[in-house]
Amino acid sequence: MHEEEKRSRPWKVCAPSGIAAANVGGVTLHSLFQMNALYESRVEADTDESDAFMELSGLIIDEHTMVDTDFWMAMKHLMQLFLLSSHLRKPTAVQAFGYRDIILIGDLCQLPPASGRPPLVTCFGFLHMFDFFVLKENRRQEKYVKHGCVFNKIRRGGVTSWPARLKHGYVYERCSIDADVQKYVVDAYVRGWGLSGSTVDIEHGVAMTSLRKDKDAWNNSVVKKIENDFPHCEKVDVTCAYNSGLHKQDYDPVNEEHVKQRQHYPKILKLRTCHEHRCRLVCLKNVDLRYKGLANGTMLRCLAANSWKGRGVRHRCGQQRSPNSCIIDIIFVAHDEHFVVYATKIDESTVSKRTRMPEDGHEFGIAEESAIVYNPIGSACAILLDLAYAVTIHKGQGLTIPRVYALLEHLFAHGQLYVQNSRTPKEEDFFCVGVPPEDILPLVLHQLNEFHAQIQRDLQILRASSAEDSPADLCTSCPYGLHVLESASKETLDAKQYARENLEEALQHESRRLDIRKGLEIAAGVTNRFEIVIDEKQWQPFLLCTNENVQIKPKSNKSDAWCSAREWNYESVQ
């Protein structure tokens, strides 16, 4: 690109999503081509825009798999309508893209377009328009070779052999799951055993779900956890409103039409923030890509205090602000055009600040979500933020997340498991939560029982040891306790730093976390679609648990597919 710019041949770097465009320092495709949701461009009506477009020599499009066929055809038509200026054309240029050069970058195994339309690679003649180059190594997992090998197997479907018959996209024969992939998923469920929105560490990690209702359920559980852990936190409920053009109507949770309304912006944004924990948020709209890097998907932190301002604020039961600037009761905010939330980017140096300064924070106000299809109750007017303790898989594509809590229930699109797995570079930072599939559950329970046996053995060794034994000897005698401590500290420390109390406390904590009965109840409560039935006559702690004494029963017929091993294999390879 530098050589092209030296020759006065300008290029543009762009991406279909805001977060992808911010990561590569470019602009979104919709912004570049001035297109709305109906693929109507304003370039044709703007003389200045059309003149600048005719001087554009080439495009670099990142995450091209998220571009659908309709947008691709509209973009191609626009480039053919405004041909590149003759003095900028190369001798070998073709007219397909208006004599311009196009470079597409992306992963064909990731998610298809969120619009539901086919990706651009399915367009007629696409394979003959481009030369294909494949990277020989994965840069994100290059430091973790073992994880990279399993990651590549999941990328190819996670199977050792493909079924002989495929009809209408459905698998009619059982596939052979790769042993490394199966072990990887089992270990992830063991790492995530006992974790849910009410038990997870709220400072680290993001849950990734395929459905929005599962995402909302996880965020609501975290909100309740924050209220219990920090009862003095600032509590604000920001409600949306619906603008029909004639009047505005506040969201009513009792109104059935409001509850069933499907929208991108949150109906109620529950802000819970304090000095001990600043609320984690995600931006839902491209606010300022060029200067502030605020894109759709940018992770934020709400300020610890004085995190909002507004005029039309209603306090429940007439409660007011306390002298220490904290809210002593929940505030309900109706639609207020002047309501603003202050938040900082999650990588900025204002995390430890306790009060809002003039130079701190970005302002996020109320915006109107335009509906493509006519909606009788009107378009949603809501805050541009949502809680970031859980995001959908489509929202998480393009992000690098330090710790992922993956919910594998109801994966409905190709590449969702691959995207969940590829958000973090380390295997130990990938956790699976919720109810394991039927063919994975016995393996998970078997490994949990093995760990329980190791914990009991190490505890017996510690209790039988004498006070004269050195910490190094105790760590050698209790390898599982040493592994638990190192996992908690995220580094390999000298065994002399571990005392007897540290080992015993770590083993007891791990035993409580791996409790099978409690873990099954927590897993079923993540989505509340299943109930766990335990045969009390055959139940014996610390022994092998199978489907004979532990059964998963769906609460509705829609959840039957998850309990079927055949469907699980189909979800893995599609």
Please give the Cα distance from 159 to 572 (Å, whole number).
Answer: 8
Do the beta carbons of residue 97 and residue 79 sit within 8 Å? Answer: yes
If we measure between CA atoms, which residue out of 315, 371, 303, 369 comes closest to residue 340?
Answer: 303
Please give the Cα distance from 472 to 496 (Å, whole number).
Answer: 5
**Strand bridging mode 170-171 / 166-167:** antiparallel
Q: What is the chain's pLDDT, residue by residue, as a tens digit (574 residues)?
A: 667 777 778 899 999 888 888 888 888 998 888 888 788 888 888 778 888 888 888 899 998 888 989 999 999 999 998 898 888 888 888 888 889 999 999 888 888 887 778 888 888 888 888 888 888 776 666 666 677 788 778 877 776 665 555 545 554 455 677 888 889 999 999 999 999 999 999 998 999 999 899 999 999 999 999 999 998 888 888 888 888 777 778 888 888 888 888 888 888 889 999 999 999 999 988 888 777 888 888 899 998 888 888 765 555 443 444 433 344 345 556 556 778 888 988 764 444 444 444 455 788 888 887 665 556 777 888 888 999 999 999 888 878 888 999 998 888 777 888 888 888 888 888 999 998 887 788 888 888 888 888 888 877 877 777 666 665 666 666 666 656 655 655 444 444 445 666 777 777 888 888 888 888 889 888 988 877 776 655 544 434 344 445 666 776 655 444 443 333 333 332 3
List of residues 6+ apart from 72 with CB closer than 8 A: 120, 123
Residue that has been written with the tokens 């020759």 in this structure = 7
DSSP states of 183-241: HHHHHHHHHTTT--TTTS-TTS-EEEESSHHHHHHHHHHHHHHHHHH-TTSEEEEEE-E
Tokens describing residue 41:
């461009």
- pTM of this prediction? 0.83
Q: Which residues pair with 250 in a beta bridge?
A: 241
Element counts in the chain: helices (H) and strands (E) = 18, 28
Report the b/e string of 117-134 with b at 16+ CB within 10 A: eebbbeeeeeeeeeeeee
Do the beta carbons of residue 43 and residue 82 sit within 8 Å? Answer: yes
pLDDT at 240: 84
Please give the Cα distance from 448 to 472 (Å, whole number).
Answer: 27
Please give the Cα distance from 15 to 18 (Å, whole number).
Answer: 7
**Strand bridging mode 331-333 / 234-239:** parallel
Please give the Cα distance from 570 to 411 (Å, whole number).
Answer: 10
Q: What is the residue type of 82?
A: F
Do the beta carbons of residue 49 and residue 328 sit within 8 Å? Answer: no
pLDDT at 536: 58
Tokens describing residue 89:
């054309």
